[in-house]
Amino acid sequence: MLMQDKLAYVAGVANHRSIAWAIAKALDREGCRLALGYLGEREKQEIDKLVGELKQAPLLVSCDVTRDESVGEAFALLGRECGRLDAVVHAIAFARREDLDGRYTDTSREGYHLALDVSAFSLNCLARGAEPLMTEGGGIVALTYLGSERAIANYNVMGVAKAALEAGIRYLAGELGPKGIRVNGLSAGPLRTLAARGIKDFSAMHRMHAERAALKRNTEIEEVADTALFLCSHLSRGITGEVIYVDGGFRIMGG
Ligand code: NAP
């Protein structure tokens, strides 16, 4: 029971395929009490269908990371209901389809701002909101992807957003470290989720990953969830500002 008597806020559960949902189940399995962030009523209905699978009933928190007042209300509720947080999971990203299908060169100003706002600046919002609640330190984990450091076809502006997210992880880790708050990234191999459906030719990317990865197979969502659990728990107490790859060794292979 790695997370017995701990409290975690997990943002980004859209449905049963979400990485955030797999992480929530792993944390719950280890005794953690959960607050789950959702965007709108449609997502809340999805989460309502899932929560019966958890051992402990979670607190459901409405939070649109693009609106300061929504983030403020979410953390006010977390403060009132939980009083403290030990872990935060950021599994949030969005880019407009046309900014993923076309050339990166042609990304619109509006599309660029939206992708960076939802997918990178949002980590600032969550970290700032959580800081006063993480009175005993703890772990913040953000989901990222290899497109941050390599030009991957059809990942485009999302790769730039992930690069900003990863740089943000390092700055936040440096600033929050004295309070015992660790901030890390988890770079996952391609997984079939709702967000992944927005990436053109995702199936080809998925197939190629299994062919080239050192382990010669695709990443499993439970592997990602268990690493997120590790990064939230005291087992990773000496690690901060890092990006950990859970990609079956895809990144380390040559062409
Ligand atoms: P997902 O299930 O679609 O989750 C993405 C989440 O972001 C959704 O819950 C979505 O809510 C939420 N979101 C979007 N805009 C938001 C906003 N304004 N405020 C609050 N939440 C918002 O897809 P996923 O693949 O699990 O993605 C989770 C994270 O993993 C993302 O950061 C993604 O980039 C990363 N990741 C994914 C893969 C992969 O292959 N799937 C690989 C590496 C990293 P709505 O559905 O309501 O919009």
Contact 186, 236 (CB under 8 A): no
Residue 152 neighbours by CB distance under 10 Å: 16
Query: What positions carry a catalytic annotation?
Result: 145, 155
The finding on whether 18 has its CB within 6 A of some atom of ligand 1 is yes
Residue 49 inside a domain? The answer is yes
The finding on whether 196 has its CB within 6 A of some atom of ligand 1 is yes
Q: Could you list the residue range(s) of the whole structural domain that residue 54 is in?
A: 7-243
The whole-angstrom separation of Cα 180 and Cα 185 is 17
Does the pTM of the predicted model rise above 0.85? yes
The finding on whether 225 has its CB within 6 A of some atom of ligand 1 is no
For the segment 95-111, the average pLDDT, to the nearest whole number, is: 94
Q: How many domains does the chain have?
A: 1
Ligand 1 centroid to residue 94 C-alpha, Å: 7
Residue 12 inside a domain? The answer is yes
Residue 252 inside a domain? The answer is no
- What is the position in ligand 1's atom list of the atom closest to the CA of 158? 34
Query: Residue 85 is part of a domain; what is its CATH number?
Result: 3.40.50.720
Residue 236 inside a domain? The answer is yes
Residue 56 inside a domain? The answer is yes
* Tens digits of residue pLDDT in 46-87: 999 999 999 999 999 999 999 999 999 999 999 999 999 999
What was the pLDDT predicted at 209?
A: 95
Residue 76 inside a domain? The answer is yes
> Token pair 């901060």 is at which residue?
240
The model's confidence at residue 224, banded by pLDDT at 50, 70 and 90, is very high
